[in-house]
Each structure stands twice: as structure tokens, then as C-alpha cells.
Copies of this chain bind each other. A is one copy, B any other.
Amino acid sequence: MSKKGNLMSFRPDIKVLDATLRDGGLVNDFYFEDDFVKALYKANMDSGVDYMEFGYRADKDMFEEDKFGKWKFATDEDIRSIVGDNDTSLKISIMADVGRCNYKRDIAPRSESPVDLVRVACYIHQIPAAIAMIEDAHAKGYETTCNIMAVTNVQQYDLVSALEMLTETPVDGVYIVDSYGSLFPEQVRDLTDKYCSILEPCGKYVGIHAHNNQQLAFANTIDSCAHGASLLDGTYASMGRGAGNCSMELLMSFLKNPKYNLFPVLKFIEKHMVPFMESPDVLWGYDIPYLITGHLNQHPRTAIAATNAHRTDYTNFYKELIDRD
């Protein structure tokens, strides 16, 4: 496989998804003020973002409503309170986790919902369950993606099997998800080639969702893009679990399609993200504990605990993680 496009032109197939409420919600338990969400919706429209993800559609029987902000559950009603009928070119997505979403009950037909895209997130062993959800959402009229998480823990033969199974489904796109921020650009280019070679002949696109543990979220996103990925996830000021995600402002400064515009992104960050960025209680972004979990290809939960506790005893933290006893 080879490069698609170059740095001077643009590929019209490339689209950007803002995951700030969803991945950023993992940082603040989804407590975003309505004014913030409305301003984000406007910033996304002004900057040319293609999809805005409003959160998870989590099962209220499984998660207690009073322990989370409403975007953990991202109901059609709550989304509508922000977007009305969303008579715009900005599409709306939600994430539905396998095993954490009562999709038969909680996902209405698209004709009754402001949502356009249902992103089904799963681990590799949950692919059959994900396919059932994809088929349900497709039958209800939605666009769908399958977001196979923690790809760095997936064996190549399982991955190929999963991608081949997905070619037999109505799914529109499949994501490379580097949950642990462990991938190097060289690996992302290879993975993108593999995903594209299986999915594109069946008319399905590839997406990329990166984490910044090794300061590679942006690099991995644009290299995946250069090799064919066409749905790119970003978050404002990188807000997302742990080390955060590919930064929307970097993405908007990079993409050449004239429909994209950096200025509204800067405007939103200045007014609405800076208070978060300056708050000692809402922490995300590259830090040495995230480098260590990324380097070790581990879930970032230990690093999140370390940065929340403002630990700087990096050597002890490292020793805890490599302890084999």
C-alpha cells in the first residue's frame, strides 16, 4: 500500500469527529454545563467539523444517573435540548459500548432521533456482540462504525478475522483504536494498510482514534490519514482520558480542505477550555506516568491515579508497574 494524497492538496473523503464530550467526559465524569455543550456545537459547525459525539449511550440500569453528568447517557432528549432538529451539516454521533448499552431499548429509530452515527465500541472478543448491535442500529437507519479498542493487545490473526467478519456486515467504517497510546507511527501506517486492504474493497472506510501517552496522538492520526484512514477523531485541547487524544487544534491546522477552519477552535479553547485546563481537579494530557503505561502497553488507570494524586516519584511508579511478583 502507499500514501494517499499529499501535503499540499486534500482528499475530500477525509472527515473529522469531535470526541470532546465523550472521551473528555471520562475526565470529568461527563459533567459539562449546557453552555459549554452549546458553544462546542457552534464551534464544531464554525470550524467545519463533520461529526460531534455527544457522549455514551450508557445503560441506566447499570450506571447510576446521580453519579455522572448526563452525557454519560446522551439521551435523544438531552441531545435535542442542545441541537433542536440539528438542521445543519454537522452530524451527531453517540458511542454505544458492547455490554454497557441496552441498545434494543435505548436506541430509537433514526427517524425519531437527532443522532446520525452510532459508534459501537468493543474489545476483540466482543466482535459478535458488536455485530449484533451494528445490525440493529443499521436496521434502525443509522450510520455505524465499529471501534475495536485496545488494538495493541490484539493478535494479528484475530484482528484479520474480525475485520473479515465486519466486511460481511452493514457497518460503514471500522476504527483503529490505540486505547493505551502505545503505537508508533510506523505501526500505525502498517495497521492502516492492513485495515484498508480488507475493508476498502467492501466499500467501508477506516477511522483512527489515538491517545497521547507518547506524544504521538497527532502524529499517528495524520500518518494513518496519509495511508488511507478517512475518519479522524480529535478533541479540543486534547481533552480525553489520561494522556488525552489527538488535539483538534493541531488537526485543524494540518488539514488542507478549505472547509476546515482553525480560528473557531482557538476561540472555543480560549473561552471554554482554558478554565478546565487551569483547574487542578480536571486533569488530562501527556505526563510521564502515561509515557510509562504507553511504553508498557498497559491500561492507563494506574497513571490516571498517579497524576490525580500529583505523584512525581516516577521511579517508584515505574517499579510498581514492572513488578512481576
- Point out the residues of chain B lying under 8 angstroms from A185, CB to CB: 185, 219, 222-223
Q: Which residues of B contact A288 (CB under 8 A)?
A: 249, 266, 269
Q: How far is the CB of A190 from chain B (nearest CB, A)?
A: 10
Q: 8 Å CB contacts to B: which residues of A194-233?
A: 212, 214-220, 222-223, 226
A156 contacts the other chain (CB 8 A): no
Residue of B nearest to A264 (CB): B315
Binary contact track A163-194/B, C-beta < 8 Å → 1, others 0: 00000000000000000000011110000000
Q: Contact: A254 with B184, CB < 8 Å?
A: yes
- Is A253 at the interface (CB under 8 A from chain B)? yes
Does A17 sit at the interface, judged by CB under 8 A?
no
Copies in the complex: 2
Give every chain B residue within 8 A of A222 (Cβ-Cβ).
184-186
CB distance from A309 to the nearest CB of B (A): 14
Which residues of B have CB within 8 Å of A274? 312
CA of A313 to CA of B187, assembled, Å: 37
Query: Could you give, for residues 125-152 of chain A, a 1 whenever the CB lies within 8 Å of some chain B CB and a 0 otherwise?
Result: 0000000000000000000000000000
Question: How many residues of chain A get a CB closer than 8 Å to chain B's CBs?
Answer: 39
- A314 close to B (CB within 8 Å): yes
| Min distance, Cβ A57 to any Cβ of chain B, angstroms | 31
Residues of B within 8 A of A187 (CB): 7
B214 to A250, Cβ gap below 8 A?
Answer: yes
Within 8 A of B (CB), among A247-299: 247, 249-250, 253-254, 262-263, 266-267, 269-270, 274, 286, 288, 291-292, 295
Q: How far is the CA of A310 from the CA of B312 in the complex (A)?
A: 24
Give the distance in Å from the alpha carbon of A197 to the alpha carbon of B318 in the complex: 41
Do the beta carbons of A267 and B184 come within 8 Å of each other? no
A318 to chain B, nearest CB (A): 6
Give, as a whole number of angstroms, the nearest-CB distance from A296 to chain B.
9
> How far is A291 from B217 in the complex, measured between Cα atoms in Å?
15
Q: Which residue of B lies closest to A278 (CB)?
A: B312
State in angstroms the CA–CA spacing of A30 and B114 once bound together: 57
**Contact residues in B for A220 (Cβ distance below 8 Å):** 219
Query: Which residues from chain A sit less than 8 Å from chain B, CB to CB?
Result: 3, 7, 184-187, 212, 214-220, 222-223, 226, 247, 249-250, 253-254, 262-263, 266-267, 269-270, 274, 286, 288, 291-292, 295, 312-315, 318
